[in-house]
Structure 1
Amino acid sequence: MYYVVIYCSYADLDLLIIYHLAVVYSAWNIINDDRVALKLETIVDHPSSIEREYHILKQLEGGIGIPRTLWFGRESVYHAMVLELLGLSLHQLFLANNRKFSLPHVMNIGDQLLSHLEYIHSHNYVHGDIKPQNILMGLGNLRHTAFIIDFGITKTYWNTKTGDHVPFRHGRSLSGTPAFASINNHLGVEPGRCDDLESLTYMLIYFLRGSLPWLTSDDEKLSGSTILERKACATIVDICQDIPVEFVTILIYTRSLTFAEDPDYDHLCSILHDLHASLPAPATSMLDFSQLRNPAIHPPDKCCVAKAILPCPPKEMCRLTRV
């Protein structure tokens, strides 16, 4: 544990998430006496991804499932962003639940995230990296709400000056996480709304099945090209084996969306709602992981393969220290 003061307000840091160029800590707000999330990024020559993320989150402010930003600034050799503190990621909860979620849980996750993505897309943004590590549950009264985090590679898909969709382009490198990336993302196509929805579909299937055909059982790190080859060769039947046929319908729909096509979010939600209504026993409409006895035993989420530059706050940043 580290004890620091950021902008004379925040102290007592616990590591939460490791990114490529940044880390996220749980911090104590010494003014309001509550806990917050603190994201730190080393200041380098290129533009700050945290500053860009801060401005995106401010534009999305007020949306359900969007983390609240509390402050952004420069401190010592770091950019710092303070956000509301959230709970465990779906990745951590998935591991704590023996790598499987119930069908009602998955339907609830899908319903919430479809609504969140529709909101993000309505503000002309594509998230670009939908995966279990980037979905966190809220705390307290928001414990049943799923939040989308990490807008570091979020892009605009709409040119507000011309009123046109960004043009179709290819030749880009893979962005996001290979396991849940759309096939077009693997192929270097400019990201669109359809890619967020395809990634979401893979994630829901992953939660139901416990894995995906292009992943190994022992979580072996595979190259993006290997995952693409396996993903492209896997049939819809292979991907959706032993799960309700409604997910076949959802996967076919999301994969068939064209680059600039407006997704029908209501259609996708209605598929999940109809499936929910067809269940033999009443299923709760709330997303509740309270039955997990000790889900916090898993280490902080590592959201990239590369080692983080910032393992802990520097000495010159530690204005308030304790042994």
Structure 2
Amino acid sequence: MSDVLKLEAPLGDVIRKSKLKAIKSIVSSFQPINNDKIEFKNNEHSDKNISLDKIQIVANRFITIKRLGSGGFGEVYLAKDKNQNDLLIAIKFENINTSRPQLSIEKYVFEIMYECSYIPKMFYFGIHNEYTVLAMDLLGPSVEDLLNFCGRKFSLKTICMIMEQILRGIEALHNHSLVHRDLKPDNFLFGLGMKSHIVHLIDFGLCKNYRHPLTYEHILYRTGKTLTGTARYCSLYTHHGLEQSRRDDIECLSYIIIYLAKGFLPWMSIKNSNRKKRNEKLMEIK
């Protein structure tokens, strides 16, 4: 199916053919920005399971339709917005008693990045019964979905088209004093409808300020940090336990480019039930 892209068909046409995966691609995980004391590894899940056994009406506006999936924050549901002619949106539920609240950090990122076209839009944030909820754009398939749809390999032109948008989104994030720390193809989602050609950045759970947002004073150099993010794509500095900064996001992108061009990375075949040993071998190959 990669021939479709090599023939230089419009990217939007290919994306529209894979809309059946759109609903399943909105899942993401979340964690506080100020996380010096709490580090998540490989997208650990919330310690509070959520099960909504009936339709929920949130803020007398959003009506849940069905569960889409789960992430580190809790669970995400498909819903419709009565204030926008029953527009389909995604709404996330996080137990208010969780020991690691994360949706408030997601809210912060959405608010400061509201002008960026590569970041989803937030419609609502508040409390519903025993849950913190956040309503946002419903997005389409991920770059990983599209890679699978196209035979696990992109043409150079397609990679350039996708990466140009990703770089603009990451640049905007960095300009707002944030580093993502968990960049991967699953966290880049195409929009729906008129936005099906736009690549959106998601999953801000591991975001962190690399500098003070007002004074621009850079964070201190630190060692002995745990591996934060996804080992497959994280930087060598991260493997060595150094504090992450902008350079680490950029190194992640370099591995992603290779992955999209080849369909695999040399260290993907490593199998070891011991996570530490597996990551050490992965670092050695990098």
Q: How many Å apart are 1:68 and its aligned residue?
A: 0.7
Distance 1:140 1:222, change over 3 A: farther
Q: Does 1:103 align with 2:167?
A: no
Letter in structure 2 aligned against 1:72: F
What do the CA deviations read for 1:79-101 (whole angstroms, capped 9, x no partner)? 10001111111122222222222
Counterpart of 1:135? 188
Deviates more, 1:161-170 or 1:150-159: 161-170
Q: Report how far residue 222 of structure 1 moved.
A: 7.5
> Which residue number in structure 2 is paired with residue 15 of structure 1?
67
Q: Equivalents in 2 of 1:69, 1:141: separation in Å?
A: 18
Q: Residue 97 and residue 224 in structure 1: after superposition, are their counterparts in 2 closer, same or farther (change >3 A)?
A: farther
Question: 1:169 pairs with 218, 222, 240, which one?
Answer: 222
Are 2:182 and 2:234, in contact at CA under 8 Å, matched by a contact in 1? yes
1:196 is aligned, of 249, 255, 272, to 249
Residue aligned with 1:82, SS: strand
Letter in 2 for 1:189: L
Change (3 A) 1:163 1:28: closer
Distance, in Å, in 2 between the alignment partners of 1:159 and 1:22 is: 29
Deviates more, 1:223-232 or 1:164-173: 223-232
Q: 2:276, 2:193 → 1: CA distance?
A: 38
**Is the alpha carbon distance of 1:221 and 1:76 closer, same or farther for their aligned partners in structure 2, counting shifts above 3 Å?**
farther
Normalising by structure 1, we get a TM-score of: 0.67
Q: CA deviation at 1:2?
A: 5.7
Quote the offset at 1:41 in angstroms: 1.2
Aligned counterparts, 1:112-131, within 5 A: 112-131=165-184
Please report the TM-score for the alignment, with normalisation by the length of structure 2. 0.75
Q: State the shift of 1:220 in Å.
A: 8.6
* Aligned-partner Cα distance in 2 for 1:201–1:221: 27
Shift of 1:13: 2.9
Q: From the CA coordinates, give the structure whose radius of gyration is larger.
A: 1
Q: 1:227, CA displacement in angstroms?
A: 3.5
Contact persistence 1:2–1:14 (CA under 8 A): no
Match of 1:183 among 224, 236, 239: 236
Task: Report Cα offsets for 1:113-143 as digits up to 9, x if no partner.
Answer: 1111111101100011111111100111111
| Correspondence 1:69 to 2:135 | no
Quick one: which of 144, 157, 167 aligns to 2:210?
157
The one-letter amino acid of 1:10's match is F
The 1:160/1:54 distance shift into structure 2, 3 A limit, reads closer
SS in 2 for 1:205: helix
| Poorly superposed stretches of 4+, deviation over 6 Å | 219-222
- Tell me which amino acid in the other structure corresponds to 1:187: H
3-state SS, counterpart of residue 41 of structure 1: strand
Computed over aligned residues only, the root mean square deviation of the Cα atoms, in angstroms, reads: 2.2
Secondary structure at the residue paired with 1:180? coil
Identity over aligned pairs, percent: 30
Structure 1: runs of 5+ lacking an equivalent: 235-323
Q: Which has the higher contact order (CA 8 A, sep 6+)?
A: 1
Q: 1:179 to 1:13 in 2, by over 3 A?
A: farther
Q: How many angstroms does 1:187 deviate by? A: 2.1
> Residues 34 and 45 (structure 1 numbering): CA distance in 2 closer, same or farther, change over 3 Å?
closer
1:92 to 145, 160, 165: 145
Describe the superposition over 1:270-299 as per-residue Cα deviations: whole angstroms up to 9, x where unpaired.
Answer: xxxxxxxxxxxxxxxxxxxxxxxxxxxxxx
Q: Do the aligned residues in 2 keep the contact of 1:186 with 1:224 (CA within 8 Å)?
A: no
Cα deviation for residue 170 of structure 1 reads: 1.5
**Partner AA of 1:8 in structure 2:** N
TM alignment of 1:218-233, pairs within 5 A: 223=275, 225-233=277-285
What is the SS of the residue equivalent to 2:108?
helix
Q: Secondary structure at the match of 1:226?
A: helix
For the Cα contact (< 8 Å) 1:182–1:199, is it kept in 2?
Answer: yes
Per-residue Cα deviation, 1:247-285 (whole angstroms, up to 9, x for no partner): xxxxxxxxxxxxxxxxxxxxxxxxxxxxxxxxxxxxxxx
Query: What is the number of residues matched between the two proteins?
Result: 233
